[in-house]
Amino acid sequence: MSLSSLLPLLAIGAVSLPSQLASAEPDWSVGAGVTLGTMGFISAGGLGGLGSSPIALSYGVALERRLSGPLWLRLGAAAGYQSADASSLSARHLALAAGLRWAFTELGPVEVSGITSLRFRAAGFDVEAGDGRPALEHGTLSVGGSAGLSAEHAFDEAFSLRLATELVSFNWTRSHQASFQGIDRGDERASAWDASFGLEPSIELRLRF
Protein backbone atom coordinates (compact mmCIF):
# COMPACT_ATOMS: atom_id res chain seq x y z
CA MET A 1 0.00 0.00 0.00
CA SER A 2 1.43 3.35 -0.98
CA LEU A 3 1.94 6.32 1.31
CA SER A 4 -0.64 8.36 -0.60
CA SER A 5 -3.31 5.74 0.11
CA LEU A 6 -2.43 5.60 3.83
CA LEU A 7 -2.79 9.33 4.40
CA PRO A 8 -6.65 9.38 4.17
CA LEU A 9 -6.88 6.48 6.64
CA LEU A 10 -4.60 8.22 9.11
CA ALA A 11 -6.63 11.42 8.81
CA ILE A 12 -9.89 9.55 9.52
CA GLY A 13 -8.33 7.86 12.56
CA ALA A 14 -7.01 11.16 13.92
CA VAL A 15 -10.49 12.69 13.70
CA SER A 16 -12.41 9.73 15.17
CA LEU A 17 -10.04 8.88 18.06
CA PRO A 18 -10.74 11.99 20.19
CA SER A 19 -14.50 11.50 19.85
CA GLN A 20 -14.17 7.85 20.89
CA LEU A 21 -12.11 8.81 23.95
CA ALA A 22 -14.59 11.52 24.91
CA SER A 23 -17.54 9.12 24.70
CA ALA A 24 -15.87 6.43 26.84
CA GLU A 25 -17.65 6.09 30.18
CA PRO A 26 -15.53 6.35 33.36
CA ASP A 27 -14.76 3.10 35.19
CA TRP A 28 -13.90 4.55 38.62
CA SER A 29 -15.90 6.59 41.10
CA VAL A 30 -14.93 8.02 44.49
CA GLY A 31 -17.16 9.86 46.93
CA ALA A 32 -17.44 11.31 50.41
CA GLY A 33 -20.52 12.06 52.45
CA VAL A 34 -22.63 11.82 55.58
CA THR A 35 -24.87 8.99 56.85
CA LEU A 36 -27.73 9.73 59.24
CA GLY A 37 -28.79 7.46 62.06
CA THR A 38 -31.04 4.47 61.45
CA MET A 39 -34.77 5.10 61.50
CA GLY A 40 -36.16 1.58 61.93
CA PHE A 41 -39.75 0.65 61.16
CA ILE A 42 -39.77 -3.10 61.87
CA SER A 43 -37.14 -5.21 63.62
CA ALA A 44 -36.87 -8.77 64.88
CA GLY A 45 -34.37 -10.22 67.32
CA GLY A 46 -31.46 -8.13 68.50
CA LEU A 47 -30.11 -7.13 71.89
CA GLY A 48 -32.45 -4.32 72.88
CA GLY A 49 -30.55 -1.65 74.81
CA LEU A 50 -27.32 -3.68 74.71
CA GLY A 51 -27.21 -3.33 70.93
CA SER A 52 -27.96 0.37 70.69
CA SER A 53 -25.62 3.22 69.74
CA PRO A 54 -26.22 6.93 70.44
CA ILE A 55 -24.35 8.24 67.35
CA ALA A 56 -26.60 10.17 64.97
CA LEU A 57 -24.10 11.00 62.18
CA SER A 58 -21.16 9.23 60.59
CA TYR A 59 -18.82 10.43 57.85
CA GLY A 60 -17.57 8.12 55.14
CA VAL A 61 -15.74 7.58 51.86
CA ALA A 62 -16.47 5.01 49.17
CA LEU A 63 -14.58 3.81 46.10
CA GLU A 64 -16.35 2.13 43.18
CA ARG A 65 -14.99 0.19 40.19
CA ARG A 66 -17.09 -0.75 37.18
CA LEU A 67 -17.14 -4.52 36.70
CA SER A 68 -19.34 -4.70 33.61
CA GLY A 69 -21.84 -2.25 32.15
CA PRO A 70 -24.14 -1.10 34.97
CA LEU A 71 -22.53 -3.35 37.65
CA TRP A 72 -20.08 -1.71 40.08
CA LEU A 73 -17.96 -3.06 42.93
CA ARG A 74 -18.19 -0.82 46.00
CA LEU A 75 -15.76 -0.51 48.95
CA GLY A 76 -16.48 1.90 51.78
CA ALA A 77 -15.56 3.03 55.27
CA ALA A 78 -17.35 5.29 57.73
CA ALA A 79 -16.64 6.62 61.20
CA GLY A 80 -18.33 8.85 63.73
CA TYR A 81 -17.67 10.41 67.12
CA GLN A 82 -20.02 12.21 69.45
CA SER A 83 -19.50 13.82 72.85
CA ALA A 84 -22.13 15.32 75.13
CA ASP A 85 -20.81 17.29 78.11
CA ALA A 86 -24.23 17.50 79.76
CA SER A 87 -24.42 13.72 80.18
CA SER A 88 -20.63 13.06 80.21
CA LEU A 89 -21.20 10.76 77.21
CA SER A 90 -18.65 9.95 74.52
CA ALA A 91 -19.43 7.59 71.64
CA ARG A 92 -17.58 6.26 68.59
CA HIS A 93 -18.42 4.20 65.57
CA LEU A 94 -16.45 2.52 62.74
CA ALA A 95 -17.82 0.57 59.76
CA LEU A 96 -16.20 -1.20 56.78
CA ALA A 97 -18.28 -2.44 53.85
CA ALA A 98 -17.94 -4.20 50.51
CA GLY A 99 -20.74 -4.77 48.03
CA LEU A 100 -22.27 -4.27 44.62
CA ARG A 101 -24.26 -1.50 42.96
CA TRP A 102 -26.50 -2.20 39.96
CA ALA A 103 -27.63 0.85 37.96
CA PHE A 104 -30.92 -0.43 36.58
CA THR A 105 -32.55 2.69 35.14
CA GLU A 106 -32.00 6.34 34.24
CA LEU A 107 -34.59 9.10 34.62
CA GLY A 108 -33.06 11.96 32.66
CA PRO A 109 -29.89 13.01 34.53
CA VAL A 110 -30.79 10.77 37.51
CA GLU A 111 -29.41 7.23 37.75
CA VAL A 112 -31.33 4.82 40.03
CA SER A 113 -29.47 1.84 41.49
CA GLY A 114 -29.87 -1.09 43.83
CA ILE A 115 -27.11 -1.55 46.43
CA THR A 116 -26.14 -4.64 48.43
CA SER A 117 -23.37 -4.70 51.06
CA LEU A 118 -21.59 -6.93 53.51
CA ARG A 119 -20.20 -4.98 56.46
CA PHE A 120 -18.33 -5.02 59.75
CA ARG A 121 -19.16 -2.55 62.51
CA ALA A 122 -17.56 -1.65 65.82
CA ALA A 123 -19.20 0.84 68.15
CA GLY A 124 -19.06 1.89 71.75
CA PHE A 125 -19.83 4.60 74.26
CA ASP A 126 -18.73 5.59 77.76
CA VAL A 127 -20.56 7.51 80.47
CA GLU A 128 -18.62 9.22 83.25
CA ALA A 129 -19.81 9.81 86.80
CA GLY A 130 -19.80 13.30 88.29
CA ASP A 131 -16.33 12.81 89.77
CA GLY A 132 -14.82 11.84 86.41
CA ARG A 133 -14.74 8.11 87.08
CA PRO A 134 -16.42 5.74 84.58
CA ALA A 135 -20.04 4.88 85.29
CA LEU A 136 -20.76 2.82 82.16
CA GLU A 137 -18.72 1.30 79.34
CA HIS A 138 -20.45 -0.25 76.36
CA GLY A 139 -19.12 -1.86 73.17
CA THR A 140 -20.50 -3.87 70.25
CA LEU A 141 -19.07 -5.77 67.29
CA SER A 142 -21.35 -6.82 64.42
CA VAL A 143 -21.18 -8.40 60.98
CA GLY A 144 -24.04 -8.54 58.51
CA GLY A 145 -25.49 -7.34 55.27
CA SER A 146 -27.92 -4.84 53.84
CA ALA A 147 -29.82 -3.88 50.70
CA GLY A 148 -31.06 -0.48 49.59
CA LEU A 149 -31.57 2.04 46.81
CA SER A 150 -29.76 5.12 45.54
CA ALA A 151 -30.51 8.01 43.16
CA GLU A 152 -27.59 9.90 41.64
CA HIS A 153 -27.88 13.24 39.84
CA ALA A 154 -25.04 14.06 37.45
CA PHE A 155 -23.96 17.72 37.31
CA ASP A 156 -21.57 16.99 34.43
CA GLU A 157 -19.44 14.10 33.15
CA ALA A 158 -17.35 14.03 36.34
CA PHE A 159 -19.32 15.27 39.37
CA SER A 160 -22.60 13.97 40.79
CA LEU A 161 -24.67 13.98 43.97
CA ARG A 162 -25.99 10.68 45.31
CA LEU A 163 -28.83 10.13 47.78
CA ALA A 164 -29.09 6.60 49.16
CA THR A 165 -30.82 4.68 51.89
CA GLU A 166 -30.62 1.25 53.41
CA LEU A 167 -33.95 -0.58 53.42
CA VAL A 168 -33.31 -4.08 54.79
CA SER A 169 -30.48 -5.30 57.01
CA PHE A 170 -29.46 -8.36 59.01
CA ASN A 171 -26.66 -8.55 61.57
CA TRP A 172 -24.99 -10.77 64.12
CA THR A 173 -24.00 -8.60 67.08
CA ARG A 174 -21.88 -9.27 70.13
CA SER A 175 -22.14 -6.80 73.00
CA HIS A 176 -20.33 -6.13 76.26
CA GLN A 177 -21.41 -3.65 78.92
CA ALA A 178 -19.70 -2.82 82.20
CA SER A 179 -21.34 -0.69 84.90
CA PHE A 180 -19.61 0.73 87.96
CA GLN A 181 -21.05 1.45 91.39
CA GLY A 182 -18.27 2.63 93.66
CA ILE A 183 -15.74 -0.18 93.77
CA ASP A 184 -18.26 -2.71 92.44
CA ARG A 185 -18.36 -3.64 88.75
CA GLY A 186 -21.14 -5.40 86.86
CA ASP A 187 -20.62 -7.06 83.48
CA GLU A 188 -23.19 -8.06 80.88
CA ARG A 189 -22.38 -9.96 77.68
CA ALA A 190 -24.79 -10.99 74.94
CA SER A 191 -24.93 -11.95 71.27
CA ALA A 192 -27.85 -12.25 68.89
CA TRP A 193 -29.05 -12.10 65.29
CA ASP A 194 -31.39 -9.35 64.21
CA ALA A 195 -33.16 -8.27 61.04
CA SER A 196 -34.73 -4.89 60.39
CA PHE A 197 -36.60 -2.91 57.78
CA GLY A 198 -36.08 0.83 57.92
CA LEU A 199 -34.19 3.80 56.56
CA GLU A 200 -30.55 4.80 56.94
CA PRO A 201 -30.26 7.79 54.57
CA SER A 202 -26.97 9.14 53.28
CA ILE A 203 -25.77 11.86 50.91
CA GLU A 204 -22.53 11.75 48.91
CA LEU A 205 -20.65 14.03 46.52
CA ARG A 206 -18.97 11.81 43.91
CA LEU A 207 -16.30 12.10 41.22
CA ARG A 208 -16.12 9.72 38.25
CA PHE A 209 -12.90 9.25 36.34
**CATH number, domain at 181?**
2.40.160.20
Residue 200: inside a domain: yes
Residue 127: inside a domain: yes
| Confidence at residue 146, expressed as pLDDT on a 0 to 100 scale | 95
Q: How far apart are CA 33 and CA 206, in angstroms?
A: 9
Q: Rounded mean pLDDT of 83-109? A: 86
Model pLDDT for residues 142-179, shown as the tens digit of each residue: 999 999 999 999 999 899 999 999 999 999 999 988 88
Residue 161: inside a domain: yes
| Confidence at residue 22, expressed as pLDDT on a 0 to 100 scale | 43
Sign of the four-CA dihedral 44, 77, 141, 124: negative
For the chain, how many structural domains are there in total?
1
**By 3-state DSSP, what share of the chain in percent is helix, strand and coil, each rounded to 5?**
10, 70, 15
Model pLDDT for residues 11-49, shown as the tens digit of each residue: 455 444 444 444 568 899 999 999 987 665 566 666 554
Q: Rounded mean pLDDT of 127-140? A: 78
Residue 35: inside a domain: yes
Q: What is the pTM of this model?
A: 0.77
Residue 4: inside a domain: no
The residue range of the domain holding 38 is: 26-208
| Confidence at residue 14, expressed as pLDDT on a 0 to 100 scale | 46
Question: Which residue type sits at 117?
Answer: S
Q: Are 99 and 106 in contact (CB under 8 A)?
A: no
pLDDT band at 88 (very low <50, low <70, confident <90, very high): confident
Q: Across the strands, what pairs with 99? A: 74, 117
CA proximity to 138, closest of 124, 148, 128: 124
